A and B are shown apart, each in its own frame.
Chain A
């Protein structure tokens, strides 16, 4: 089974509007971390936000917030006030503390911001 599932291969959003990128995960570990990365066309991986499995509050970083629903095993990324520069691939990833600390990535969502 897929450990990280991103069901939206591509999404459009109007500039200045908010957008939610979906991510669900599968793990039996109690301790894990969830990450979102942005990958522009240059290929670099830009860290956006992190949520620990024991964090009770949803993580926020500027215009990025993570809607963490532990019981549903979802960790959706919300980008507020979209900008043209937000157009990129977005990857959700998970690190399971009992699995060697590597990141397992979802399939990604291509976000396109329309002017």
Chain B
């Protein structure tokens, strides 16, 4: 199957700093990438949909100024958590949908990033 690489797999940062998470599609062009957030023992919640070359679409309740998403190329989307606070500590995971994939195929997920803000 297609490969999506997410980096870093874990990060610890201080309150007030920013953290960038990268999501790359390695062997296909991803026109759309999705960013999810998962709190411990909970399900994945969609944060935003990222389309190459356009602004991301954020889900209700997600602060777009805090969670900056950039999808500058067909193989890379980034999520930047700005001015991080301890409540931003969570597991963030991306998934990608490619040009050659139909809507009825699996979504390919990155490995996820565990963010801890201290």
User: Which residues of A are interface residues toward B (Cβ below 8 A)?
Assistant: 33, 35, 37, 42-45, 47, 50, 52, 91, 95, 97, 100-108
Nearest-CB residue, chain A, relative to B6: A44
Contact A43 B34 (CB under 8 A): no
Closest to A49 in B: B106
CA A101 – CA B105 in complex, angstroms? 10
Chain B interfacial positions (CB closer than 8 Å to A): 1, 32, 34, 38, 42-46, 49, 57, 91, 93, 95, 97, 103-109, 111-112, 114
**Which residue in B38, B43, B103, B108 is a CB contact (below 8 Å) of A95?**
B103
Give 18 A-B contacts (CB < 8 Å), ordered by A residue. Answer: A33-B103, A35-B106, A37-B109, A43-B91, A43-B111, A43-B112, A44-B111, A47-B108, A91-B43, A95-B103, A97-B103, A100-B49, A101-B32, A102-B34, A102-B49, A103-B44, A108-B42, A108-B43
Take A52-B104, A100-B49 as given contacts and tell me if A43 and B114 are in contact as well, using a CB distance cutoff of 8 Å.
yes
Determine if B43 and A105 form an interchain contact, defined as CB atoms under 8 angstroms apart: yes
Q: A106 to B57, alpha carbons, bound, how many Å?
A: 22
When distances are taken between beta carbons in the complex, the residues of chain B under 8 Å from A45 are 44, 93, 95, 109, 112
CB-CB < 8 A to B106: which residues of A? Answer: 35, 47, 50
